[in-house]
Amino acid sequence: MPALSLPTFPADPSRLPEDMAVRFSRIKHVVSDTDGTMVTGGSALNDSKGRPSARLSQTLVDLKRCSIDVIPCTGRNRAMIREDVRLLGLTGWIGEMGGILCLHEGAKNDWRYFTADMPYDPTCGKTPHDVICETGVVKRLLTRWYDSLELYNDNGIGYQYREVSIALRGTVLEDEAQTMLNETGLPIYLADNGFVTRITGKTILPIFENGKAEDVHTYHITPRGLDKGSATARYLELRGWDPDEVMACGDSPADCEMAAHVGTFLLMRNGISNPKTQAALATAANTFVSTQAATDGWCDAMQLLIALHA
């Protein structure tokens, strides 16, 4: 497949063509992946090279002053993303690859599960995660790839606190893994949420020196039809937002699912070399690539929006 060619998101508002200035000035909401997009190295106080920086926090303040919402859309579970959002003063979140939608409206904290094509009865006393686990497919996967796959324990919080998806990391034969999921009888699939760049703590996976990961994917077992794209579409519907007034941002193939449901999609430069990302965006006409990788590129794009709203 030829390398993906995308226009670079502009950095200078004074040089924008009029139609582009009008388009970007309409953006009122940003739905964004977190790790590898907004955040580098798990810290909001790093730049894209992992150096101490307050630029992300200042950019979030500037966005808030312009009344531009930032909604994290992440594979992280409730316990992680809820605290991130609370500390950063954001207005809602999408967790577990779209499986939990949380809307903040003033003092109201409204959330719900979203399981797309997978039937789920909220009165059953189980989470969607429990329903999937009871099929035994997780154990089968871990047994089959005993030396290259492990449960991804959410930075020490523990996979058991997930409510919809099941997070794993490693390397598998994806077609074979999907066949095993199909055999459960549930409409579920294996989503690739990008590469793990660093692993801390105990692991069975091969890593480079200093904890740098070697060809390790983050996978999520997810209800079929549920992805960051369908969840974003549902979230916008619940909030009553015009898709043309929304920009989505991300660096992984899973993030690219959002592109079809928003007016503008920003692919981080660090995600452009992934063949799956290239395939996902091959026909997308609303997509730009960031000026720089991860946090620095994200902040560059947000500062343009801020300048247009000033």
Digit-coded pLDDT (tens) for 41-78: 888 899 999 999 999 999 999 999 999 999 999 988 88
Residue 203's pLDDT is 86
Whose tokens are 């998806």? That residue is 165
Residue 262's pLDDT is 98
Q: What is the dihedral of CA 139, 144, 147, 153, to 10 degrees?
A: -30
Residues 88-118 have pLDDT tens digits of 889 899 998 899 999 876 556 789 999 999 9
Residue 201's pLDDT is 75
- Each residue of 113-122: b (16+ CB within 10 Å) or e? bbbbebeeee
Planar angle of CA 180, 252, 221, nearest 5 degrees: 25
CATH H-level superfamily of 13-114+226-309:
HAD superfamily/HAD-like (3.40.50.1000)
In whole angstroms, give the CA distance from residue 134 to residue 127. 11
Residue 282's pLDDT is 87
Residues of the chain scoring pLDDT < 50: 1, 159
In whole angstroms, give the CA distance from residue 49 to residue 4. 24
Q: Give the strand pairing for 100-105 and 149-151.
A: unpaired
Contact 38, 47 (CB under 8 A): no
User: What residue ranges do the domains of the chain occupy?
Assistant: 13-114+226-309, 128-223
Residue 156's pLDDT is 53
Whole-prediction pTM value? Answer: 0.86
